[in-house]
Structure 1
Amino acid sequence: MLLDALEVVTTVVVGVMVGVEFSVAFVMNPIFNALPEDSGQLGRAHGGRMLGAVMPFWYIGSLILVAVWAIAGWHRPGAGLVVIAAALLILSVIMSLLLLVPINNRNKTWTPENRPADWKQQMNRWDRFHYVRVGIIIAAFALLVAALI
């Protein structure tokens, strides 16, 4: 009973995280990119500050929940899927730390007055890495759902 609740809570937490990151990639950033003049860059900087404060806890918390599920449910069918999902979440955290966070840390301090000349290229690089990360966490989420059934 407790393990069932853990499985559902974990799946919901990871699923909502996937939804937020999907929305950033395919809704928010295209909106920011379409805004006039400096509005898009300012929006991205604000989003970077806001989500940059929350997402580390969400990613690590999701990984911890999945790890607990994998350990507690080792005897259940689908445990291998949960372990693979955990590995994918570990990959997403490593990718975030090495590729996305450094760009985001720069971006969140930029204003139209102090941003570098290549700011758009840096944002495009962040977007490309983010698309890959979204694919990885979607795969992890799908594995968790599959492990439930």
Structure 2
Amino acid sequence: MLSALEVITTVVVGLMVGVEFSVAFVMNRIFNALPDDAHQQARSHGGRMLGALMPFWYIGSLVLAAIWAVAGWHDHGTRLVLAAAALLIVSVIMSVLLLVPINNRGKAWTPEARPADWKEQMNRWDRYHYARVAVIIAAFTLLVTALT
């Protein structure tokens, strides 16, 4: 049972890392190359769509890692799993304090009703997102290492 939990947790976190990496280094670069109105609309739509999904994915990943740590308390990789869970907590805190406020504003913008500094706000979101991606990659790496 523990082996299945380890694999499920690793796959769920790995998929989350893949999606967030893609947002940071593929999707946002595509959006940035679009004309301003299309760029802003794409970012707003992405914010609505992923903004609805990601809280469950981040919290779910954290819960799975916590269950793994408790279930495998005496295993050799438990400290790595605990460190990964701590990093996932950091990613949730970063999301709530830094990224979600910008996303909540941005997902409501339209070409007719957006602030003059909307690009600056999106650039700030991108910088925070790069840091969050680094944190979840580190968490994923720790989980993979705990499997060995």
Counterpart amino acid of 1:124?
N
The 1-side partners of 2:3 and 2:43 are apart by 38
Amino acid at match of 2:95: S
Deviation at 1:126, TM superposition (A): 0.1
1:28-79 Cα distance to aligned partner (Å, 9 max, x none): 0000000123111100000000000000000000000000000001111110
Q: Name the amino acid aligned to 2:94.
A: M
Superposed counterparts of 1:1-149, under 5 Å = 2-149=1-148
- Note the residue ranges of structure 1 that are not aligned, 5 or more in a row: none
Paired with 2:73 and 2:32, the residues of 1 have a C-alpha distance of 45
Amino acid corresponding to residue 127 of structure 2 in structure 1: R
Count of residues in correspondence between the two structures = 148
TM-score normalised by length of structure 1: 0.99
**1:99-130 Cα shifts (integer Å, max 9, x gaps):** 00000000000001110000000000000000
Q: Aligned with 2:36: secondary structure?
A: coil
**Paired amino acid for 1:133:** R
Counterpart CA distance in 2 for 1:125 and 1:104 is 11
CA distance in 2, matches of 1:85, 1:74: 14
Q: Which runs of 5+ in 2 are unaligned?
A: none
Counterpart residue identity of residue 111, structure 1: T
Distance in 2 between residues matched to 1:27 and 1:10, nearest whole Å:
25
State the superposition RMSD in angstroms. 0.4
**SS where residue 38 of structure 1 aligns?**
helix
Rounded to whole Å, the distance in 1 between the matches of 2:62 and 2:26 is: 25
